[in-house]
């Protein structure tokens, strides 16, 4: 299936970008609830005036934003809907938007520490649902030093198999009084018949054939890149 989002232009050389590509900025306003409508015939959610690019290749409606990267103040906890989807779709680094690191062990991802500080086992990462796009090796080194949720020891893993599974967002339902939010559901697979009612804001991928790696060792001894 052909992606409908273009591959992003890199923000700068790997390891040189201060604010990640996927970060949302305060000037990038989200789309308004008043723009949403129930499509006739129970065909799910739509916009009053839909534009090319409002839907992904599965027909799911995506949140719109205004503005551009760098408008206002960075909101480091929030990933921009379009840029997160671009990075995930094209396996670009979530920080510099250049190609993510890929070796014979797979694509490189970083994960935060668990609340108890324990490192996850491979079986806990196998078939995990991931919303943080991969990274390149130089940016991984910077993130490991700077990101509080990755300290003191970042969890780094590689996945040979990565597949788009579905979307995270806000699930709406039609009622005689208009659209209402279903707060019980935050994410749905593309195979769900309810996904037509999702207002998507993040692409969720499933990772398999996972290997936990020692990031510091890979930084000191880079392995050959694998062909795409």
Integer Cα distance of 91 and 94 in angstroms: 9
CA distance 39 to 62: 15
From 22, 45, 92, 93, residue interacting with Zn ion (rule: CB under 5 A): 93
Report CA Rg, the chain: 18
Q: In the complex, what is the shortest distance from the CB of residue 179 to Zn ion, in angstroms, rounded to a whole number?
A: 39
Select from 36, 45, 110, 139 the one that contacts Zn ion (CB under 5 A): 139
Residue with tokens 């992003």: 8
Nearer to Zn ion, 139 or 167 (CB): 139
Find tokens 């207002």 and name the residue: 199
Q: Which stretch binds Zn ion (CB under 5 A): 7-15, 61-69, 101-109, 123-131?
A: 7-15
Q: Binding to Zn ion by residue 22, rule CB under 5 A?
A: no
- The nearer residue to Zn ion, 60 or 137, going by C-beta atoms, is 137
| Dist CA 9 CA 7 (whole Å) | 7
Here the tokens at position 217 are 């060792």
| C-alpha distances in Å from residue 200, one per residue of 39, 107, 195, 228 | 16, 24, 9, 28
Query: How many Å apart are CA 24 and CA 102, to the nearest integer?
Result: 26
Per-position x/- string for 94-133, each x denoting binding to Zn ion as judged by CB under 5 A, each - no binding: -xx-------------------------------------
**Where does this chain touch Zn ion (CB under 5 A) — which range of 57-65, 72-80, 137-145, 180-188?**
137-145
Query: Is residue 14 a contact point for Zn ion (CB under 5 A)?
Result: yes
For residues 95 and 167, which CB has a smaller minimum distance to Zn ion in the complex?
95
Residues lying near Zn ion in the complex (CB under 5 A) are found at: 14, 93, 95-96, 136, 139
């Amino acid at each position: 299936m052909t992606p409908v989002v273009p591959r992003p232009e890199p923000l700068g050389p790997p390891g040189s970008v201060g604010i990640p590509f996927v970060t949302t900025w305060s000037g990038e306003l989200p789309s308004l609830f008043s723009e949403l409508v129930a499509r006739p015939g129970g065909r799910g959610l739509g916009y009053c005036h839909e534009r090319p690019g409002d839907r992904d290749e599965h027909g799911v409606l995506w949140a719109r934003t205004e503005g551009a990267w760098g408008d206002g103040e960075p909101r480091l906890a929030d990933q921009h809907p379009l840029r997160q989807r671009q990075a995930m779709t094209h396996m670009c680094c979530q920080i510099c938007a250049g190609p993510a690191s890929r070796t014979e062990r797979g694509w490189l991802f970083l994960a935060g520490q668990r609340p108890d500080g324990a490192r996850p086992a491979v079986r806990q990462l196998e078939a995990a649902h991931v919303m943080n796009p991969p990274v390149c090796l130089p940016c991984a080194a910077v993130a490991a030093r700077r990101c509080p949720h990755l300290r003191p020891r970042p969890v780094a893993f590689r996945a040979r198999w990565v597949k788009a599974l579905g979307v995270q967002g806000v699930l709406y339902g039609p009622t005689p009084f208009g659209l209402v939010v279903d707060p019980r559901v935050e994410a749905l697979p593309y195979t769900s018949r309810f996904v037509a009612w999702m207002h998507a804001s993040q692409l969720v991928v499933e990772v398999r054939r996972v290997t936990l790696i020692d990031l510091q060792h890979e930084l000191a001894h880079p392995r050959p890149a694998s062909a795409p």
